[in-house]
Amino acid sequence: MPAGASRRLWDEFRPHRARLSIAAVLVLIGSALQSAPVFVVQKTMNNILVLHGNPEPLAIGVVLLYSVNGLVNFARASITRSVAWRVVTGIRDRLHDRLLEQELAWHLHTPSGERQSRLLGDVNALQYAVNGVVTAVQKPITLICLVISAFAMNAKLAVIAFGLLPLALLPIQRVGAWVRRASKEASDAAAKLSAHAQQSLSGVRVIQLSGGEQERSRAFRALDEVHEKAQVEALTAQLLPAPLTELIAAIGVGGVLWVGGNEVAAGTAQAADLVGFLTALAVMNQPLRGLSEVGSLMQRSLAAADVVFALQDREPAIQSGDGAVGQPRTIEFVGVGLDYGSGPVLREVTLTLRAGERVALVGPSGGGKTSLLSLLPRLYDPTAGVLRWDGVDLRAFNLHDLRRHIAVVSQETFLFDDTVAANIRFGVATATEAQVRAAAHAANADGFIRELPQGYDTRIHELGMRLSGGQRQRICIARAILRDASLLLLDEATSNLDTQSEAAVQEALDRLMVGRTTLVVAHRLSTIRDADRILYMDGGRVLASGTHAELMAVDGPYRRLAQRADA
């Protein structure tokens, strides 16, 4: 839990001191106006019902009083709510940036639904801090004004009414820790439920094909039940102070009725004064109830702040250097090892890539091929050995500059919910329309894009399932072409395509590889026979290296793999 969550939360509001000061003045005015109806009732009882006076001035005064009070409250609420959302928006933007900085391993181990819940739900809860502060200021001031009014009317009854008032603060103080803990548990339960729902909706095709609807439904109901219990407990903790506070207030009112009623009956006090005094007590019920909500609002915000600030403070495992990156002449793997935490996936890999060279990686699934590729853009850092770019440790370079020199095309195509042109331009925001179209043409994508309903301006989500796997892949290749990177990483880019789509994609890839240092993970050996070098990997090690002809001349794992592929 980050230290000083309340202080850090206040620091977020500090830049808005001027507007909050105006709100504070409006709070003072509103608090004073809320005590005025007490005197209105008393004057009405005395001047109209007892003395038979003219009710018109009082009627006009009531209208003006409540009109001004309504405008004051509206202005105050508008200021505080706008400040709250401005702060929440700023925190959410920074948290979003911070999440994108976290290393890939963290994202893979944290469900996307949970990350989304933290970014949206927990950050939204921070707005309650403003409401809590306003309530903490406004309600006590209103109470003070009402107490002063009550003492002005009848000091004896005021002592009776307010003698137990300090006890009303005890429930607020005592349940604070419970509210914070319950709010944290409710937030965690919501994050888990969101993660499960996101996985179910994203994987609905697999669920339906596997007949796993009931299994996922049972798991969802179990999580939803935990979520329900956590939310109910949090709500109970938030609501409990109110009835306790009202009970204490009711005892005071009962005492006033007992003593004041006897005084009126004995003729030592006027009924109008007693009614006015009781009106003051009745008006106090609302700020008393508000005081009971202060702790709940603040603890709910602080529980969310603990989570949000903890994420903001998390340092990514992959740290950026400050060195500039140039086009590589050599890329060296020197005794490189990689362990995700459950055992090594790469072991003592030593390899040199030369500028313009095309190197293919083949071997059984799980042999370490994709893991090797992931080290170059620093999605992971080696846990052993070193990876050098022109003799310089990769970790010395600026991370964004390094990745700008690398283009990746994998079997997993991902397109954003945006236009086709925006998807091609992603990562190269300054690209012109002509450059986008040229990249699409080089990727064999221009023809089918022009046939879309709005051509390059067609939004991806509007197409639904109309884009084939090959078409999606060619859009991704166009994105890589536009990037014009010096190092190209191809991770089984044609493995999920039919023969016709594969031919179109392979032709686009051949154009993309020209003049670039390329590292290819191959599924089909026919696509890499002309590579400058082929590396056979298994068990995280490079077991054989050479051209296709050289490896076929030796009775080794590559030849056996090729023979099985041709069989």
Q: Got the DSSP string for 459-518?
A: BHHHHTT-S-HHHHHHHHHHHHHHHT-SEEEEESTTTTS-HHHHHHHHHHHHHHHTTSEE
Task: For 71-118, write each residue's pLDDT tens digit.
Answer: 888 888 888 888 888 888 888 889 889 988 888 888 888 888 788 888
- What is 128-192 written as a DSSP string? HHHHHHHHHHHHHHHHHHHHHHHHHH-HHHHHHHHTTGGGGHHHHHHTHHHHHHHHHHHHHHHHH
Beta bridge partners of residue 459, listed in sequence order: 419
DSSP 361: E
Backbone angles phi, psi at 335, to 5 degrees: 55, 40
Task: For 222-262, write each residue's pLDDT tens digit.
Answer: 888 888 888 788 777 766 666 666 677 677 777 777 877 78
Surface-to-core class of residue 53, CB atoms within 10 Å of its CB (0-12 exposed, 13-18 middle, 19+ buried): middle
When pLDDT is averaged across residues 16-30 and rounded to a whole number, the result is 84
Task: For 374-407, write each residue's pLDDT tens digit.
Answer: 999 999 999 999 999 999 999 999 998 998 999 9
Q: How many residues does the chain have?
A: 567
Helices (H), 314-393: 369-375
Task: For 403-425, write each residue's pLDDT tens digit.
Answer: 899 998 888 888 887 899 998 99
Q: What domains can be seen in the chain, in order of their start residue?
A: 5-313 (1.20.1560.10), 330-566 (3.40.50.300)
Task: For 107-152, write each residue's pLDDT tens digit.
Answer: 888 888 788 888 888 888 887 776 666 666 667 777 777 777 777 7
What is the C-alpha separation between 7 and 193, in angstroms, rounded?
Answer: 31
pLDDT above 50: residue 194: yes
Nearest to 419 by CA among 468, 465, 469, 453: 453
pLDDT above 70: residue 52: no
pTM to 2 decimal places:
0.75
Task: For 267-298, write each residue's pLDDT tens digit.
Answer: 776 676 677 677 767 766 667 666 666 666 77
What is the C-alpha separation between 220 and 203, in angstroms, rounded?
Answer: 14
Give residues with Cβ within 8 angstroms of 474, minimum separation 6: 440, 443, 444, 445, 448, 504, 505, 508
Task: For 317-370, write each residue's pLDDT tens digit.
Answer: 999 999 888 888 999 999 999 999 888 999 999 999 999 999 999 999 889 999
